[in-house]
Structure 1
Amino acid sequence: MNSLPLEYFLRVSELGSITRAALDLHLSQPALSRHIAALEHELGVALFNRTHGGVTLTEAGELLAGRARPILRQLSILKEQVGEQATGLLSIGIPPSWHHVFTEDYAARIISGSPGVKLRIYEGASNVLREYMAAGLLDLAIIPFNPDPTPGYQQTRLVREPAMLVDRREAGLHHAVPAALSRLDGMRLVLPSRPNGLRLQVEHALSRNGHAFKLAAEVDTLALCLTMARKAIAQTVVPSCALCNSDVTAGLSWAPLAGIQLTWTLCENSARTHSLAVREGKRLALELITSRVDAGDWQGAEKLIHAKN
Structure 2
Amino acid sequence: MNILSLRYFLKIAERGSITQAAAELHITQPALSRHVSQLEHELGVKLLMRHGRGVRLTESGHLLVARATTILADIDMLSSELLACQTEPRGSLSVGLPYSWTENITAPVVKQFNEQYPDVRLTVIAESSETLEGMLKSQYLDFAVLSTIENDPEIDSRPAVHDPMYLFGPHGSGLTELDTITLADLAEWPTIRQHNATAAAKRTDQLLARVGRSQNVLIKTSSSMLLELADLVHGFVTMPGCAMGSRRYDMEAVPIADHSVTWTVARLRTHPPTAAMKAFAGVLSHVVHARAADGNWPGVVLVESAFQLGLPDRAAGHGLVEMGAGVHDERLSRDDRGVG
- Which amino acid is 2:280 matched to? G
Residue aligning to 1:43: 47
Write out per-residue CA displacement over residues 250-274 of structure 1, whole angstroms, 9 at most, x where no aligned residue: 2x22111111111111113333335
- Which amino acid is 2:30 matched to? S
Distance in 2 separating the partners of 1:258 and 1:34: 56
Distance in 2 separating the partners of 1:176 and 1:268: 39
Contact 2:242/2:297 (8 A) holds in 1: yes
Measure how far apart 1:183 and its partner are: 1.8
2:124 corresponds, among 118, 121, 130, to 121
With the length of structure 2 as denominator, give the TM-score of the two structures: 0.66
- Which amino acid is 1:130 matched to? E
Measure how far apart 1:162 and its partner are: 1.4
Residue aligning to 1:100: 103
Residue aligning to 2:22: none
Contact 1:157/1:305 (8 A) holds in 2: no
**1:186–1:34 distance in 2 versus 1, CA, 3 Å:** closer
Write out per-residue CA displacement over residues 16-38 of structure 1, whole angstroms, 9 at most, x where no aligned residue: 9x9xxxxxxxxxxxxxx988767
Distance in 1 separating the partners of 2:119 and 2:157: 26
Alignment of 1:119-268 (within 5 A): 119-146=122-149, 148-174=150-176, 177-221=179-223, 223-247=224-248, 249-250=249-250, 252-268=251-267
Runs of 4+ in 1 over 4 A off after TM superposition: 3-7, 9-12, 33-41, 58-61, 77-80, 82-87
Secondary structure of the residue aligned to 1:123 is: strand
- Which amino acid is 1:114 matched to? Y
**1:295–1:156 distance in 2 versus 1, CA, 3 Å:** farther
With the length of structure 1 as denominator, give the TM-score of the two structures: 0.72
Distance in 2 separating the partners of 1:216 and 1:12: 33
Distance in 1 separating the partners of 2:278 and 2:231: 40
Measure how far apart 1:107 and its partner are: 1.0
Distance in 1 separating the partners of 2:132 and 2:145: 8
Secondary structure of the residue aligned to 2:258 is: strand
Measure how far apart 1:288 and its partner are: 2.0
Distance in 2 separating the partners of 1:270 and 1:5: 23
Tell me, yes or no, if structure 1 residue 13 matches structure 2 residue 8. Answer: no
Secondary structure of the residue aligned to 1:179 is: coil
Distance in 2 separating the partners of 1:166 and 1:45: 51
Tell me, yes or no, if structure 1 residue 291 matches structure 2 residue 301. Answer: no
Distance in 2 separating the partners of 1:42 and 1:220: 40
Aligned residues: 271
- Which amino acid is 1:279 matched to? K
Contact 1:186/1:212 (8 A) holds in 2: no
Distance in 2 separating the partners of 1:39 and 1:188: 58
Measure how far apart 1:176 and its partner are: 6.9
Residue aligning to 1:52: none
Contact 2:244/2:296 (8 A) holds in 1: no
Residue aligning to 1:2: 2
Distance in 1 separating the partners of 2:282 and 2:300: 20
Tell me, yes or no, if structure 1 residue 91 matches structure 2 residue 94. Answer: yes
Contact 1:5/1:36 (8 A) holds in 2: no
Contact 1:157/1:304 (8 A) holds in 2: yes
Q: Gapped runs of 5+ residues in structure 1?
A: 19-32, 48-57, 62-70
Contact 2:95/2:123 (8 A) holds in 1: yes
- Which amino acid is 1:108 matched to? K
Residue aligning to 1:109: 112
Secondary structure of the residue aligned to 2:176 is: coil
**1:274–1:160 distance in 2 versus 1, CA, 3 Å:** closer
Higher share of residues assigned helix: 1
Secondary structure of the residue aligned to 1:272 is: coil
Contact 1:130/1:150 (8 A) holds in 2: no
Distance in 1 separating the partners of 2:303 and 2:177: 22
Distance in 1 separating the partners of 2:292 and 2:204: 24
Distance in 2 separating the partners of 1:59 and 1:41: 19
Contact 2:160/2:303 (8 A) holds in 1: yes
**1:130–1:260 distance in 2 versus 1, CA, 3 Å:** same
For the aligned residues, what is the CA RMSD? 3.8
Q: Which is worse superposed, 296-305 or 86-95?
A: 86-95
